[in-house]
A and B are shown apart, each in its own frame.
Chain A
Amino acid sequence: MSTRDLVLAALFAAIIVALGLVPPISLGFIPVPVTAQSLGVMLAGVILGAKRGGFAVFLVLILVAIGLPVLSGYRGGLATFLSTTGGYLVGWFFAAVVTGYCSEHFVDRSQSGIVQITGFFLAALIGGVVVDHMLGILWLPVVTNMTLAQAFLGDLLFVPGDVLKALIAALAGRAVMVGYPLLPQRA
């Protein structure tokens, strides 16, 4: 991994951590403020691609494991991995990698803005919603007495919010690609 890629990943990890430390923000479409950390995970994939985005999220997970309270709500430590949301947490890594992989293959600079945004949106949906929620759902029956079906139903509550985040990640991804053209999409 080049030094530049290492630094990009580390800086993005710092962004994801910061998003967990600041108060919830408004998504703009709905009046309810939400924590932006999972948005940060999708952004990592969209903006840095699979390898660097995955490494950025990996670094955040290491910081959590080490005992730094970097998850929103001042949470951290090994307990968060074993808790009910542990699946979603570990799922962040796979979400970033999948979102990154899809972004690298769906989107390139020669496309129009709308096509790029759609590409990023699909990438963020597949990674940040499908993959992450799937892992979150699979973990729930392990720690609790829920069945997979119950876990799935409970999870549906959080899907609309994350779909909105995927849209924002797509819009932001395109804006960053335009505003910072020196950043190569692929590591």
Chain B
Amino acid sequence: MKSLHVEGDTFLHRLPPGVKLAALAAVSLLLFLLHSPLLLAVAAITALVFYAMLRLGWHNSWQRMRMILLTIILICAFTLVINSPMDAAAVFFRLVALTLFAATITATTSTGDFIEIVTKAARPLEKTGLVRASDIGLAIGLVIRFVPEVLGRYQAIRDAHHARGLKPKALTLAVPLIILTLRNADEIAAAIDARGIRGQK
């Protein structure tokens, strides 16, 4: 699974991830409070300038963001009909600015850095007894590790449907997928405990 992280050495890449996330939060808040289409347009252009520093090119960018852009256009069309052109413009620039700022932060922060931040943020939550901070990194690793297996299993189940002349439907696909996948949980958990990875008891 390819991450949306983009290799590079811009000043954005070199900023500490905590700073970038805080900045994104602050900028987002500002954008929610602004209503003037002119100011929002300025914000959108600023965001575009930052995004352009990634040098992703049109094709790549379109690949990454076409779904979000489609949604934005739909919402703006809706706003145009229901409200006014000024409103639609404000919505358009606000959403574009949010999207580009956020996409830039995502692209300039590595997966490892993100996991570190999430783990740090989870430490205070350890007191609630719900989850341990170190478990989050392990859990994320587990998910990424097993997605290809689940996909393979899904394909096999689809193939089995075709071999039997059945049309693949959500119910008949989901049930075997879930059972076959979850059945491994015991052995995986035993392997983790046998290696003493979670360092308990």
Interface residues of A (CB under 8 A from B): 1-4, 6-15, 17-18, 21-22, 25-28, 34, 36, 39, 43, 47, 51, 55, 59-60, 62-63, 65-70, 73-85, 142-146, 150, 154, 165, 168, 171-172, 175-176, 179-180, 182-183
A11-B181, A18-B151, A66-B111 as given contacts; A168 in contact with B103, CB under 8 Å: no
Cβ of A67 and Cβ of B114 under 8 Å apart? yes
Query: What 1/0 mask marks residues of chain B from 68 to 83 whose CB sits below 8 Å from any chain A CB?
Result: 1001100100110011
Chain A neighbourhood of B142, CB < 8 A:
6-7, 10-11, 14
**What are 27 A-B residue pairs whose CB atoms fall within 8 Å in the complex?**
A1-B131, A4-B186, A11-B142, A14-B146, A18-B150, A25-B169, A43-B174, A55-B131, A59-B140, A60-B143, A62-B136, A66-B115, A66-B118, A70-B1, A79-B100, A79-B103, A80-B68, A84-B95, A144-B91, A144-B94, A146-B78, A165-B170, A171-B171, A172-B171, A172-B175, A179-B175, A180-B182
Which residues of B92-137 have CB atoms within 8 Å of chain A's CB atoms? 94-95, 98-100, 102-103, 105-107, 109, 111, 114-115, 118, 130-132, 135-136
Chain B's interface: helix, strand, loop or mixed, by majority?
Answer: helix
Q: Give the distance in Å from the alpha carbon of A73 to the alpha carbon of B69 in the complex.
A: 12
Chain A's interface: helix, strand, loop or mixed, by majority?
Answer: helix
* Residue of chain B at shortest CB distance from A180: B179
